[in-house]
Amino acid sequence: MYRFALFCTVVFVWSGMRLLAAEPAAVDYTRDIKPILADRCYACHGPDEKQLKAKLRLDVRESAVKSAIKPGNAADSELIARIASDEPDFRMPPPESKKPHLTKEQVELVKRWIDQGAKFDTHWAYVKPAASGLPPVKNPQWVKNPIDQFIATEHDKRGFMPAAEADRITLIRRLSFDLIGLPPAPAEVDAFVNDKSPDAYERLVKRLLESKHYGERMALYWLDLVRYADTGGYHSDNHRDVTLYRDYVIDAFNKNKRFDEFTIEQLAGDLIPNPTLEQKIASGYNRLLMTTEEGGAQPKEYTAKYQADRVRNASVVWLGATMGCCECHDHKYDPLRTKDFYSFAAFFADIREKAVGRQDQTPLPTPEQEAQLKKLDARIAELKAKLSTPSKELDAAQSKWEAEVKEKKQAARLPKEIAAAVNVEPAKRNAKQKQLVADYYRANVAPGLKDIQSELASIQKERDELAKAIPTALISMSGPPRTVRVLPRGNWLDDSGEIVQPNIPQVLGNLSLKDRTPNRMDLAKWLISPDNPVTARVMVNRLWKLAFGQGIVKTLDDFGSQGSPPTHPQLLDWLALEFQRSGWNIKHMLTLMVTSKTYRQSSTASKDVRERDPNNLWLARQNRFRIDAELVRDNALFVAGMLSPVVGGPSVKPAQPPGYWAFLNFPVREWQKDAGEMQYRRGLYTYWCRSFLHPALLAFDAPSREECTVERPRSSTPLQALVLLNDPNFVEAARVFAARILREGGKSDAERFGYAYRLAVSRLPKPTEMDVLTQLLAKHRKEFSADKSAAQKLLSVGDWPAAKDMDAAELAAWASVARVILNLHETMTRN
């Protein structure tokens, strides 16, 4: 009996242990379930009340558990019966939704979630970032800073080994492209490779962040976000002056302006008491949208377009929210209402602008120009006062002159209005006629005032020239706000909708004030307040993307239900809180990221890591990718020694194919290529025509900037190779690069190949590459020696002065080699 009882006890315990061992892992609602429900169910059972079916909302627990879900009992839940059914008329989602049915794995996941209690969580992005301790790791020696600790924890969970640290050449090229958008010079590479001090890497990071080109690199990304362009878009896509805004952005990043100040100045710089010139320029953010000058356009229609554009842009830039979906209806997947859309639009209803027509440009003199204007105006007023001061002698001389005019009948020679006044008897003239005659006499006839008149003319000319030199910009100016109402289905003709006041999306709180209506300043301050759970996360996620090639939240523009959940939610929250703790310090955050061991990994990974994490979500290696469109040409000009180092200033027009603007009408325009140094400036400054973007930028995936662009696509096409080989800008760069190789690269071909590679890719060529280059050079030496005219044709491309002291055939042959080197994948890749 005792043995039997013992046997039963052992069996019971062993069975229990098996049950415990088989206990399924906890299902995470945000990570596992919500993406399924959002994709397959929310269109009919989500936030959009107008599309709601069966009065069932699967995004709200109270509604879901009433009829569809029995927490703890998946087998008896209607939701499971529907999604697992084989009957077409019963199964969900229905055929008319055009949504695919759930896979068996997804159905099992939903079952487990229900059996585990069907816990619903508030969407992660709408919960304030939570402070958490740093997680433990198996290999603390690998950790450089807190970022590594969060990354290493995920490595440990998956059994991943991080990639080895990249070699120093790779690291300096990576940092240089990421932080200033340019490759390192050979001397900089040598200095870093040979620097044995323990803080060599950190000092390199600091040097790059202090470079004046850092602001240019960062501005490139921000200008995509705010849809900066030199033309207005729509219809005629005419020019407008907004380059001062671009200069403001570059300068703000270079000065490491706090991101909270950066936000306030752009959204509400004009509302700051006694705004500075810089703050006025910053407020131009609100004017960067597309506008129309089409004569037959309806003002009311375009007012609606402009307010919708501003909502779409500001909500994506600062909230990572797809509020554009709410212009016509409540959001189908996120708790964002149509009323939220128009309440958000009401923040911008005070901006003074034309609904149709050329927008008014505001002159913005520098402090020096303003002081000079005041000085000139004071002198002009002083001289005019002298000319208009009453004098018995002048009055007598004027009377004598008038008598002579009448006696000699010379009035017809005078301006019509003056002649008419002179012919009226002095005693009978009205005040205006008296003033006209006196002013004309003093300005044109009085012999004793010639010196004053001459000086006045000279100073007036100087003032006019100064006024012409003063830059203009589109800036925000506040006026009485327009009435904003909900437009049913987005119809600008329908005035039946509810009138709304400025407010933030209801799901994120309420900005209603007791004593006044909220304005853009209130919106800006809320965006960077601790009460807003989103903005800090959105910004650090974008900085992460700059450092690692993809965000912790992969969908940079969508932190909602349809977006990707964060791969490392605790890390994202830690970064958001650190950003706020640091005083919204962008350079501090970038320093943390690029000095981490995670960033410094090689982009080469083990076969196991590549197979189990093909998209590198868990960062057991670095990412490699092609540099941005503007940087491709910058890189070629820099390697050739042609790139202008000037920062800021007006947009420039490098060469582009003739006739490319042929269809740009009202008015017809031609692209006038700039001369001299202007055409060799960075791509950031290239004139940005929305409807006809420079073709070399277009080929490498630069956006039109008609809308906010949070992430550019990265394509690899034959057209790109053709651009690099044949675009005049790149052909010119290649021939100038060739002259540099011959002048600076040594005497032998091998030395020159080595020098060329060190300039372009920061390393020496491999033996196999040397063989290919040697054969290529020999082939082209022979061809150009036989055809001198072909060599001269190649060397005449572009305006850069040709090297007169070199043999044309030899230089052309090396230009062919340079074209190949500039076309290497490695030349334009951030590794």
Contact between residue 717 and residue 236 where contact means Cβ atoms under 8 Å apart: no
HSE of 269, CA atoms in CB hemisphere, 13 A: 22
- Classify residue 484 by its DSSP letter: E
Q: Write the single-letter amino acid at 138.
A: K
- Name the β-bridge partners of 42: none
CA dist., res. 811 & res. 795, Å (int): 8
Tens digits of residue pLDDT in 431-448: 999 889 888 888 788 877
HSE of 431, CA atoms in CB hemisphere, 13 A: 0
What does pLDDT average to in each consecutive run of 10 residues of the chain (831 residues)? 43 42 72 88 88 90 92 94 91 91 94 93 94 94 98 97 98 99 98 98 99 99 99 95 98 99 99 98 98 95 98 99 96 94 99 96 95 97 85 83 84 88 91 89 80 91 96 97 97 97 97 94 98 98 98 98 95 98 99 99 95 97 98 98 98 96 90 96 98 97 98 96 96 98 98 99 98 98 98 97 94 98 97 96
Contact between residue 519 and residue 350 where contact means Cβ atoms under 8 Å apart: yes
CA dist., res. 244 & res. 250, Å (int): 10
**Res 23: pLDDT:** 53
**Res 593: pLDDT:** 99
Cα distances (angstroms) measured from residue 620 to each of 141, 215, 608: 16, 30, 11
Q: How many CB atoms lie within 10 A of CB 663?
A: 9
SS3 for 686? strand
**Res 380: pLDDT:** 96
CA dist., res. 643 & res. 733, Å (int): 10
| Element containing residue 539 per DSSP (H, E) | helix 535-548
**Res 6: pLDDT:** 41
| Element containing residue 193 per DSSP (H, E) | helix 186-193
DSSP 441-452: HHHHT-GGGHHH
Cα distances (angstroms) measured from residue 49 to each of 120, 321, 339, 560: 20, 19, 13, 18
Q: Are strands 625-626 and 829-830 parallel, antiparallel or unpaired?
A: antiparallel
CA dist., res. 288 & res. 244, Å (int): 12
Contact between residue 622 and residue 601 where contact means Cβ atoms under 8 Å apart: yes
CA dist., res. 645 & res. 640, Å (int): 13
Contact between residue 761 and residue 827 where contact means Cβ atoms under 8 Å apart: yes
* Closest C-alpha among 169, 229, 231, 177 to residue 201: 169
Cis peptide before 93 (omega within 30 of 0): yes
Alpha-helical segments (H) within 595-711: 607-612, 629-640, 695-699
CA dist., res. 254 & res. 216, Å (int): 8
Predicted structure pTM score: 0.89
- Name the β-bridge partners of 625: 830
CA dist., res. 71 & res. 314, Å (int): 40
List Cβ neighbours of 317 (8 Å cut-off, separation of 6 or more): 225, 226, 708
Cα distances (angstroms) measured from residue 108 to each of 30, 312, 636: 16, 38, 54
Q: What is the CA radius of gyration of the chain?
A: 35
The tokens for 723 are: 């651009």
HSE of 63, CA atoms in CB hemisphere, 13 A: 14
Q: Are strands 484-485 and 362-363 parallel, antiparallel or unpaired?
A: unpaired
Cis peptide before 471 (omega within 30 of 0): no
- Name the β-bridge partners of 473: 362
**Res 140: pLDDT:** 96
**Res 24: pLDDT:** 63
Contact between residue 398 and residue 446 where contact means Cβ atoms under 8 Å apart: yes
CA dist., res. 264 & res. 119, Å (int): 39
